[in-house]
Structure 1
Amino acid sequence: MLHRLTALAWASLVSIVLLMSPSASAATLGALPGAASLFAGNAPELGVQEGQLSPCPDSPNCVASQNADADHAIAPLSYSSDRDTARETLLKVLTVVPRTRVVEQTNDYIRFESSSRLLGFVDDGEFYFPAEDNIIQMRSASRVGESDLSVNRRRMEQIRLALQDLGV
């Protein structure tokens, strides 16, 4: 009789597969039933409320340029061009960030999702363009788990460097 695997049993199975077969790929794991949905988590309610992005949870897998303590804080992005140019350039940069897709955009807000290559963990990122400043507030957090090994911080800093390289 087949039983459904619990999340813990599933994670153990994936670990065993990876240990037994170092050449296991995302395609191999993706063929296992429920692999993508197990690690993707559910999309949180995000957005701008009263000019602020949501604060980070207590877990270390989040960075934010607003409402953040020292462990979660990241500087906002600054730009010297006009807001529309900065926004369009940021959208172009996001098209080359691996496994990333824009899921929502308005004149002053961009939301994206990035997934990990191997197990499909999903991180949610946001950019907010306040009208009165030449800055872009940002936030990026993992949907599930405790640690992200600083992936969210590195991704946002790489986006910062790309915008700087493009002269925005």
Structure 2
Amino acid sequence: GGGPIGLALVRLLKILEFHPIMLSEPVAEKREIALTFGADHVIDPLSEDLSQKVFTGTEGRGCDVVFECSGVPSLIQSCMDAAARGGTVCVVSVMYTAAQISSITLNFKEIWLTGSYSNTHEENIRCLNWMAEGKLDGKPLITDLISLDQLPDVYKKRIDTGLAIKVMVDMQL
């Protein structure tokens, strides 16, 4: 997913020189940002076959590491399908309902399924250093800078529709 977590992850993977980097995201604007952040391939899951695109982009192997950043429980299985044999699927997003997965896929592909919730002090320092060096710029993630009075309208038009990435409320506006 191309929300703030997924897009930040694309940029971090680019800094760490992972290749190829793929992002699946239904919102065109977020796919464009992913390309500017360093994604090699972007996929519209509403009009393109995710598995076909992944396996074409990885020369038939699948992905060594897949990050689930959308928060949609059913997509954990899609991530497992996209993973290479022996690959890792890391669920980064928080989900509030149960996910169903195929134990056959998990076992036969020997997938490592894990989760991630937080980061370490050292990782925070590394990210701050990358920001200071100009390698990591969080500004493109801020899609809306608004006053508190604008929040209800922006919520309806941008947040509920999935068009916003990060909305910043400036209390001085």
TM-score by length of 2: 0.23
The answer to which structure has the higher helix fraction is 2
TM-score by length of 1: 0.23
